Chains A and B, each alone.
Chain A
Amino acid sequence: MTVSEVRQRDTQEERMGRRRGVAAVRGAGKMLNRLPTWAAVLLIIVVVLALWQLVVSLGTISELVLPSPLSVGGQLVIVTQQLIGGEYLLGQLWITIQEVLLGFGLAVTVGITVGLIVGQTEFGRKGVMPIFVLLDATPKIAFAPVFIAWFGFGIASKFLMAAFMSIFPIIVGTAAGLAATSEEEIKLFRSMKASGWDIFWKLKVHRALPFVFTGLKIAVVAAVTGAVAAEFIGGGIGFGEQVRVAAARIALDRVFALILYLSVLGLLLYLAVAWLQKKLTFWDQPGRDR
């Protein structure tokens, strides 16, 4: 065997080896694609947590700056115990939940009403809607100090801030939804001598629902943000205040544990809205429409 022959054989083996490697990666990729959603999400979370733990354990990043998942877990246990024990912390969480629910409830009531009024008329859609879109585009969170100044340090400024943060997507969604009815459907109803009321209740409201829910899903998450942001600014109450105090002590593991609880609150509310949407707009599947 000459040198070149050996080299050739080597490269050939290498190539085959590489091919095997590629096949293995492809096989793994296929396996990943076949995973059910829950398993895929779990896998990613486990990998990220493991990397995070590794980075902190190796001392690449200081625990002061980035608490390890394990210490966050420890804090999570402590926070959970405090909540279950019905201590002070539970009261603070309850305050935040009240703020969010009151704020979101207010936003839903006022938002849908305003959206219906605005969406019913051409003038409303043309003249008033853009103003709400514009307002929605402002960094609403910057108004939090204003709300404290207007409504004081109590719960009012918080839930009003939550409502302010969440009302615009509801208005815009509702108003846009009212325009979603097709000409053919209106013509059908008019040919059956339907009253304006019938056209509204039996047709337009149904057609608007998917749009309303799109707004509601954005809004419910924004309501949590609004309440917590207002708590940060002032008043010394609520779960947001607990986060602020922990952060001020640089107890970041506790901050993370508290934020996790706030996320669960937001997620549960989101899931409740999504569940209701599935119940009420079961017919809204993309694709077939006749």
Chain B
Amino acid sequence: MSSMTRTRSEETYAVSGLSHRYPAGDVLALQGIDMVLPKGSVTALIGPSGCGKSTLLNILSGLLRPTDGGVTLFGSPLTGPPDEVAHMFQKATLLPWRTTLENVVLPIEIRDGKKAAKAAYGKARDLLRMVGIGDFEAAYPQALSGGMAQRAAICRMLITEPEVFLLDEPFGALDELTRERMDIELLRIAKDSEATVVLVTHSIPESVFLSDRVYAMSARPGRIEEVIDIDLPAPRTLDTFSDPHFVDRVGQVRRALNRGHGYDGQ
């Protein structure tokens, strides 16, 4: 019997009829959002400022409660920040009084205490080596470049073995070349760990490159303008960026965003 063996839903997230209104200024940030995020999928949320994509991410992370509608994670309603979810933000936000290694184990320390954090050092070292900054475990964040700091932030996200990555413009502060390399690396890590990824980005190429599905959003009120499936083959590499199919999809996302912005295409 499948209902006995299957304790969790196949979908990671299911969002239905979700709206959110900020009481300050009575702003309708999100209206009528419906989305299903299958396990292991990568979903990009893209749109102009004020389209509510960050609000949506905060709701998915359990940091914010929607005023209307429901969100389920693995079939159960979301009531607060869940254990299975880890975050990455635009800034690495490493604590400057902790070494890289101590920064990576911070989530463990907060969840299970100092002893558990020490026990996780070995795992943290493996992660640092995996993203190529193994030699910097004892360095303080001040000594790291922007790209290295974001790599450390990736390790901090991975240390709890989350099933869901919520990425809020993760590489927005990096230069484009570093960003492309980090995108590829992140995609590989996500596939390896079979995690479900939700990504908020401003970059149309990045949204297409990383995801299986792009939600193009429009503002005032924040809503989904178009859902674009990205059927590019894996693995995606630097060559993907010049694939004609990739360019097609980028154009499709751009048209959707322009439409949402009130332009009529041409």
Contact = CB atoms under 8 A, between A and B. Distances in A.
B110 A194 contact: yes
A290 B149 contact: yes
A283 B142 contact: yes
B140 interface: yes
A252 B233 CA distance: 90
Given A191-B81, A192-B106, A283-B140, A290 B92 contact: yes
Interface in B86-121: 86-87, 89, 91-97, 106-107, 109-111
Interface of chain B: mostly helix, strand, loop or mixed: loop
A188 B88 CA distance: 8
Interface in B128-154: 140-142, 144, 146, 149
A185 B81 contact: no
Given A191-B63, A285-B142, A290 B110 contact: no
B97 A283 contact: yes
A160 B107 CA distance: 45
B61 interface: yes
Interface in A90-128: none
B110 A283 contact: no
A286 to B, nearest CB: 10
Contacts of B97: 206, 281-283
Nearest to A206: B97
A202 B63 CA distance: 20
Contact of A191 (B87, B109, B140, B146): B87
Given A283-B97, A284-B96, A192 B111 contact: yes
A278 interface: no
Interface in A185-199: 185, 187-194, 198
Contact of B111 (A190, A193, A284): A193
A184 B93 contact: yes
Task: Indicate the size class of the contact surface on chain B.
Answer: 20 to 34
A188 B110 contact: no
Given A285-B142, A290-B146, A188 B81 contact: no
Given A190-B63, A283-B97, A290-B93, A198 B110 contact: yes
Contact of A202 (B110, B141, B144): B110
A288 B142 contact: yes
Nearest to A188: B93
Contacts of B144: 290
Contacts of B142: 283, 285, 288
Contact of A188 (B80, B83, B89): B89
Contacts of A285: 142
Residue in B61, B83, B93, B107 with the greatest tally of chain A CB atoms within 10 Å: B93
B265 to A, nearest CB: 38
Interface string A168-200: 000000000000001011011111111000100
Contacts of A203: 95
A5 interface: no
Interface of B: 61, 63, 80-81, 83, 86-87, 89, 91-97, 106-107, 109-111, 140-142, 144, 146, 149
Given A184-B93, A192-B110, A290-B144, 9 more contacts: A188-B93, A189-B110, A191-B61, A191-B63, A193-B81, A193-B111, A194-B110, A284-B96, A289-B96
For the complex of A and B, 8 pairs with smallest distance between CB atoms: A283-B96, A191-B87, A283-B97, A290-B149, A194-B110, A192-B107, A184-B93, A193-B81
22 contacts: A182-B93, A184-B91, A184-B93, A187-B63, A187-B89, A190-B63, A190-B81, A191-B61, A191-B63, A191-B81, A192-B111, A193-B80, A193-B83, A198-B110, A202-B109, A203-B95, A283-B140, A283-B142, A284-B96, A288-B142, A290-B93, A290-B149
